[in-house]
Amino acid sequence: MKDFVKQDNLRALPKFLALVAGFTVLGGIGGFLAAIAAKPETLEAIRAGLDRVMNMASPWGIPVSGAVLLFPAWLYYRSARRLYGNWDPDMEEGAEDEIRRRMNFLLLLMLLFTNLETVFAFFFLAASFQYTYAPLNVVLFLIAMACIILLQQKVVDLTRSINPEKKGSVYDLKFQKIWFTSCDEAERAQIGQASFQAYRTTTVTCMIVYLVLTLMNFMAGTGLLPVLVVLVIFGALQVSYLLACIRACRRAQH
């Protein structure tokens, strides 16, 4: 067994070192060229251009993103609701499973769109405090959040209509925990797979953003605060994941 482990490490190590070396060289060359090309007047022109764009976009960001994302989300919900109208507990098992599968797919798409709108709404709310549209955007933000919560409540209610064993309300602060405990083993396995994929994606994303922000600090003097924020997120992700693994290991031992 030890020989197999050693062979796997020796086989993978050269590729790993070559990849690290390649990214290091490319990052160094890119940073050097960017530092040469990024003159102070160029950086100032970029900042001024971004300020103009955000100044125009800030009052419209939340309503436009809401229309683009929440309206399709509502259509997905309506489609799932129509499928539910065709659902009958006495129908054949194959037909019932097909309706459940299609409904779950539509509701997941709906949740994807509502979560994207949440990101846009929070971004434009933060931008509004810098670009003088705060009172208007606060109202628009609250309206967007109310629509998102209402749509998510409808998703939960519709899911519970077909699955009476499901428990929880979106207005409960412990909703996610209650919902998870009401899932069966197959559903928990799917949640675990999705969570692990999200963990991997977030880890890679944090490292890429860290490199970009470090380069921007070198080029434009953006400071260490953005870098620190990314590292706090990365650290919280890693620590929370490992603590969850430790708790699961302890439960398995008892």
**Burial (Cβ within 10 Å: 0-12, 13-18, ≥19) of residue 205:** middle
Take residue 118 and report the two structure tokens written for it.
């949440």
Q: Can you tell me whether residue 165 is helix, strand or coil? A: coil
pTM: 0.77
| Cβ pair 76, 154 in contact under 8 A | no
CA torsion 217→223→226→230, rounded to 10°?
A: 70
Distance, CA of 167 to CA of 179 (rounded, Å): 6
Within 8 A by CB and 6+ apart from 206, the residues are: 230, 231, 233, 234, 237
pLDDT tens, N- to C-terminus, the chain (254 residues) = 556 767 777 777 777 677 767 767 766 666 665 555 556 666 677 777 777 888 888 888 899 999 999 999 999 999 888 888 877 666 676 677 777 788 888 888 898 999 999 999 999 988 888 876 778 888 999 999 999 999 989 888 888 887 788 888 888 888 888 888 888 888 888 888 988 899 999 999 999 899 888 877 777 777 888 899 999 999 999 999 888 888 888 887 76
Domain boundaries, the chain: 48-171, 184-254
Is 148 in contact with 114 (CB distance < 8 Å)? yes
